[in-house]
Amino acid sequence: MVNNNKISVITLGCSKNTVDSERLMNQIKLNNLELIDDPNMADTVIINTCGFIEAAKEESVNTILNAVALKQKGKIKKVIVAGCLSERYKSDLEKEIPEVDAFFGTENYEGIINNLGGELKYELLGERFITTPSHTAYLKISEGCDHPCSFCAIPIMRGKHKSIPMENLIKEAEFLAGNNTKELIIIAQDTTDYGKDIYGQKSLSNLLNKLSEIKGIEWIRLMYAYPSQFPDDLIDTIAQNPKICKYVDIPLQHISDNVLKSMRRGVTGERTRELLYKLRSRIPGVTIRTTFITGYPNETEKEFEELCEFVKEIKFDRIGVFTFSVEENTSSYLLGDPVPDKIKESRKDILMEIQREISTEKNKEFIGKKLKVLLERTEGEYFVARSYRDAPEVDGEVLIPVNGYNVKEGNFYDVEITEANEYDLFAKLINT
């Protein structure tokens, strides 16, 4: 029996959580339950939490407490908590926040749907309720991770690496293309490990080529690549397949051999450089995004300077910087947290300042050049678009003065770059 229940799903954390929520939301719809945006108007609030680092955990707990407050005021009937924080700390949370009606781990769609009085439509799990703008969607190709990175709790919450069979991913991508998706953003904990478990070898190249044959898909963007054992054939596939964006997101975390060793990253500074120069020489014009951690327990001032010199040397197109967060049950936990927060933050600021100059310089090189952009939305006097260099939410954008142009969000347009600042490009439309 299915209750006529208004459900609000709150998604925290990363794009992998977004995909999980979209699968769940589609199952909620398939069970004739009503999905609503505003948790204040819901009967049931489901929170898909993040448990990655301290700040994310705090945000998740606060969101749970806000929902519990709504329940205590009689505004909502039920609070359900799912996702990484719940996977990691279920028994503690049950004790500390008993007002929550049910706690579920990651990807427990059946448990949640049954709790709502529904039935899981297993055969339709590949279909999703898209929460991103329809022209762009994440495709999660595997879950879990086999890497032993010392600072990371994700394997504790998401388990070992598990690839999703290619035929399921093709079907899911066709479903997305049928819903107007033009850009597929390929995500996982480590996308380059795709297929090693189910096909006995790394098969990301094969998958990307197959996805590029799907009618309607125009851009395929690769995120979360891992630097060690980067498949050589993948470099050629990115270089040769016109639908694959010349863009690689490859978190490196550090460059000093000492720090990389303690982080258990399985790669050296020298091999990291080799890979980056190989990507640049074999994929002309490739955009490289990376992330670093500052204030890792054994990072000395000298090792931080080495990282700064590396960033100046390589001139990445995009970087993100996180400060080290102590995570229990990770192998770095025993190292404690000797680097003061003030130092961690100042190192982060120094790196971002170095990058700001590099990014400005690189962006200015595009003035006068033509680019194909995906028009995302209108904001005030500007159309906001992205080029092959820009992943959503984390990178820069291309801003185009509205100027009475008759254009449509979700379409591709050719532009000429007229101006640039450290993050964004400014452009005018051509051929419209």
Q: Per rule CB under 6 A, is residue 226 in the interface with ligand SF4?
A: yes
Q: Per rule CB under 6 A, is residue 260 in the interface with ligand SF4?
A: no
Give least dist CB 146 to ligand SF4, A. Answer: 8
Length of the chain: 432
Of 51 and 155, which has the nearer Cβ to ligand SF4? Answer: 155
Give least dist CB 355 to ligand SF4, A. Answer: 21
Stretches 84-92, 151-159, 195-203, 360-368: which one binds ligand SF4 (CB under 6 A)?
151-159
Q: Per rule CB under 6 A, is residue 149 in the interface with ligand SF4?
A: yes
Q: Per rule CB under 6 A, is residue 304 in the interface with ligand SF4?
A: no
Query: What's the rounded Cα separation, in Å, for the pair 425 and 210?
Result: 32
Give least dist CB 145 to ligand SF4, A. Answer: 3
Of 39 and 251, which has the nearer Cβ to ligand SF4? Answer: 251
The answer to whether residues 135 and 385 touch, using CB atoms and an 8 Å cutoff, is no
Stretches 147-155, 238-246, 357-365, 400-408: which one binds ligand SF4 (CB under 6 A)?
147-155
Enumerate residues 171-190 that contact ligand SF4 by CB under 6 A: 189-190
Give least dist CB 11 to ligand SF4, A. Answer: 19
Of 158 and 389, which has the nearer Cβ to ligand SF4? Answer: 158
Q: What is the residue-wise DSSP string for 272-334?
A: HHHHHHHHHHHSTT-EEEEEEEES-TT--HHHHHHHHHHHHHH--SEEEEEE----TTSGGGG
User: Among candidates 42, 49, 48, 47, which has minimal Cα distance to 7?
Assistant: 42
Of 194 and 382, which has the nearer Cβ to ligand SF4? Answer: 194
Q: Per rule CB under 6 A, is residue 388 in the interface with ligand SF4?
A: no
Q: Per rule CB under 6 A, is residue 152 in the interface with ligand SF4?
A: yes
**Residue listed under structure tokens 């060690």:** 228
Of 249 and 306, which has the nearer Cβ to ligand SF4? Answer: 249
Q: Per rule CB under 6 A, is residue 90 in the interface with ligand SF4?
A: no
The helix or strand, by DSSP H or E, that contains position 379, with its residue range, turns out to be strand 370-379
The answer to whether residues 19 and 106 touch, using CB atoms and an 8 Å cutoff, is no
Determine which residue in the list 93, 116, 145, 279 makes contact with ligand SF4, applying CB under 6 A: 145
Query: What's the rounded Cα separation, in Å, for the pair 147 and 87?
Result: 19
Give least dist CB 214 to ligand SF4, A. Answer: 28
Query: What's the rounded Cα separation, in Å, for the pair 373 and 428?
Result: 11
What are the helix (H) ranges across 121-203?
154-158, 166-178
Give least dist CB 39 to ligand SF4, A. Answer: 29
Q: Per rule CB under 6 A, is residue 52 in the interface with ligand SF4?
A: no
The answer to whether residues 104 and 112 touch, using CB atoms and an 8 Å cutoff, is yes
# binding residues, ligand SF4 (CB under 6 A) = 9
E strands, 134-250, in order: 136-140, 142-143, 162-163, 183-187, 219-222, 244-249
Give least dist CB 391 to ligand SF4, A. Answer: 17
Enumerate residues 264-283 that contact ligand SF4 by CB under 6 A: none
CA torsion sign, 194 to 195 to 196 to 202?
negative
Neighbours of 360 (CB within 10 A): 13
Q: What share of the chain is helix, strand, coil (3-state, %, to 5)?
A: 40, 20, 40
Kindly write out the interface string for residues 185-214 of this chain, putting x where it contacts ligand SF4 by CB under 6 A and - elsewhere. Answer: ----xx------------------------
Give the three-state DSSP class for 251: coil
Determine which residue in the list 64, 154, 311, 374 makes contact with ligand SF4, applying CB under 6 A: 154
Give least dist CB 189 to ligand SF4, A. Answer: 4
Q: Per rule CB under 6 A, is residue 382 in the interface with ligand SF4?
A: no
Of 155 and 269, which has the nearer Cβ to ligand SF4? Answer: 155
Query: What's the rounded Cα separation, in Å, for the pair 149 and 261?
Result: 10
Where does this chain bind ligand SF4 (CB under 6 A)? 145, 147, 149, 152, 154-155, 189-190, 226
